[in-house]
Each structure stands twice: as C-alpha cells, then as structure tokens.
Structure 1
Amino acid sequence: MKKILLVGAGGTLGSAVATHLRQQHDVITASRSDPAHPVDLGSDDSVTALLQSVGKVDAIVATTGAVHFGPLGEMTAAQFDIGLQDKLLGQVRLALLGQHHLNEGGSITLTTGILTEQPIAQGANATAVNAAIEGFVRAAALELPRGLRINAVSPSVLLEAWDSYAGFFPGFEAVTAARAALAYQRSIDGIANGQVFKVW
C-alpha cells in the first residue's frame, strides 16, 4: 500500500481518482477547500506547508488547474495568464517542491487534457498550458533522482461535465471520470516515466 497525496480531490475527476486509488492505497486529499489539508497551488508557502504536514509520500497527484476560455480576438494577456499561473505553474510548483518529499522510487502525476493535441474554438489558453505541462513532464523525467518518476494524464472532456461543455466539444467523445482514474493508477503503480497517458 502506497501513501498518496492527491491535490484537487474536490473536483469531479479528483474525487473519482480518490475513490479508485483508495481501493489499494492510503490517499490523503488536499484542495483549496479541504478542511484537513487546505492548499493554494499559487503559493510556495502554502504548498510547502501542505507537504510538511503530510510528511513523506510515495506519490503526488494533481487533478486541478484553471484555464481561460474565450475568443482569441478578445483575449488579453491577463486572461491568458490565468492558465499560466493556475494550471501550469500550480502543477509545476507542486512537482518542484514535492519531489523533495517523495520516498525513493516515488512518482508525480500531473493532469493535462485532450486539447493539447485537438484544439477547439476559444481554447487557445488550455491548449498552450496543457502542451507546456507535457513538455515539463518529458524534460523533468530525465533529471529526477532516486528513481523518481513523473507522468501526465490527458483525459478527454468528462462525461459528468458533458451537459455544461458539449457545445465547446462538437463531435468529441466524452469519457467517464472513473475511466480516466485508471490512468492515474497506471502512472503510480507502473514503471512509465516521462509519459502522457491519453484517455480519449
């Protein structure tokens, strides 16, 4: 049984990942609103405090991150920066600080999405941010010491959110959060390093 820190467990994807992983592992959940383990991925101090409070872990998982959706012709740099600061730097910050709190052979799993390779209208920020996270994962995998590994999971739009997002994803096939959760287990319990697990 592995000790896993899951950040973003309050969301649809995160809750499904937590449910699945708890069948075999000890999962500690954290989020902005978590009463026991609150965390703001925008703050070094907040992430450091979380990591110190939970102690050494075998895996760190992030299933969180906001991006800006809107027409390119109206997008401002400040709006584009939302995705850079929240989803990109938030997950990267967790990985950079978290690597020092992992047991030998531990793993980090970040979250991107189908828009990395299949852009949609009004999704330029999401595509850019997801691609940057995947680039970070590929490069970081080559430098991590002590047998540590890092991967990303790239799910399609979730079936549970389809009613809200169907208009943005014409012709796309939604996937269940439970199916996406399997990829996080592959990252944690497998041997892959620097990989992107696509759940499309």
Structure 2
Amino acid sequence: MIGATGRLGTAVNEALTGRGHQVLTVGRSAGDLRYDVADPAQVTALYDEVGAVDAVASAAGDVPYGRVTELKPEDYEAAFRGKVLSQIELVRQGTSRIAERGSFTVITGVLGRDPIPTGSAASMANGAVEAFVRAAAIEIAPQRINAVSPTVFTESIAKYGDFFPGIQPVDVAQVALAYVRSIEGAQTGQIYSLG
C-alpha cells in the first residue's frame, strides 16, 4: 500500500487488514518500507525488496496548486511526476512482479472531472492517470487496473470545503471500500467515482 500512512492510506490499510489481507505499507517517511515512488529507481528497489505480491495499491500523489498564470512549467512537470509517472511506474515495473491475475489500484480525484480555480495541475494529472488506466487495462490482462476518484473527504471538509462549493463530500471509509472492490473484484479499466 503506497501512501499508507496518510488519511486515505490508513483507511485503506484498515479495510484490507480487516478483511484478512496482509498489507505492506510504503511511504517516503513512514510505513513498513521507506521509498519515494516518484523516483523510478526507488520503485525498482521497492519491488526488489518486496518480491512477488498479489496487488499494488496507491493512495499517494503530490501536485502543486496555483492559478494557470502563476504556475511555471516545472510545476506542471512536478504534478506529472508526482501523481502520474509515479503511478505509471508502479504499474509498468509491477506487471512482472504481481500475480497473473493480480491488480493495481491507483488514485485520481474529482478535479479530473470537476475542476476548481488553482487546480489545473491536479486536473491535468488526474485526467492523465484515468486515461492511462483505461489504456493499460487492455494491455496487461489478465492482470487488472482500476482508479479510485473521490471528491473531498468529509473528514477534510473544514479545511478544504471552501475550494469545493456544492460538491458532495465522501467519507474516507467509503473511498477505502472502493479499493477493496478494485482489489477483490473482477473489473478492470474502471474509474470508481465517489461523492
């Protein structure tokens, strides 16, 4: 579980372990294993350390926020590296490391379908991840890949609610169930939109 010590990652970890899954938590600064998946070499090292697994789930991805006129090219590159390429690398390198019918679950978000001011880099990244999921699903079968795309978490509404006027929040526990659905289910190429 990549990003397992954040709010979402913690909920996903609890949901999966509660269903009997053995989960290895991965993070840059916390977790069972310490790797920065934005670095392809560290993705390789992670897979080398872990060995074969049944599923890979990601709840991590950094993107900068700012108005289009304020963001620099390197901000968009950082968003692409932090949320898109990092998750693509998990899949690209992981296809030879997970079970024949294993799964990948990646994270996108509401800004891919419902943009807000200052969120263009996040919208770009989320849209790219979703397009990748649809394309990868037809190439990696019988392995599976899905994306989870929540709105703002109910638990974060006090902090971020003003950025999402009129958008229905979603409980982080519901988002965690989408990860369970992706990992234990049979679907592939899906974008599980929540909220």
Aligned residue pairs total: 194
Which residue of structure 1 lines up, in the alignment, with residue 100 of structure 2? Answer: 104
1:1-200 equivalence runs, <5 A: 6-24=1-19, 25-34=21-30, 36-145=32-141, 147-200=142-195
SS in 2 for 1:162: helix
**Which has the higher mean CA deviation after the structures are superposed, 13-22 or 32-41?**
32-41
Q: TM-score, normalised by structure 2?
A: 0.96
Q: Which runs of 5+ in 1 are unaligned?
A: 1-5
**Offset of residue 23 of structure 1:** 1.1
Q: Please tell me whether the aligned partners of residues 112 and 124 of structure 2 are also in contact (alpha carbons under 8 angstroms).
A: yes
For 2:155 and 2:96, the matched residues in 1 are separated by 35
Aligned residues: percent identity? 41
1:76 is displaced (CA, Å) by 1.2
1:78-132: per-residue Cα shift (whole Å, max 9, x none)? 1122211101111111111111110110000000001111111111111111000
Flag as ranges the 4+ runs of structure 1 deviating above 2 A.
none
Task: Using structure 1 for the length normalisation, give the TM-score.
Answer: 0.94
Q: Distance in 2 between matches of 1:40 and 1:137?
A: 21
Q: Unmatched 5+ residue regions in structure 2?
A: none
Q: 1:63 to 1:92 in 2, by over 3 A?
A: same
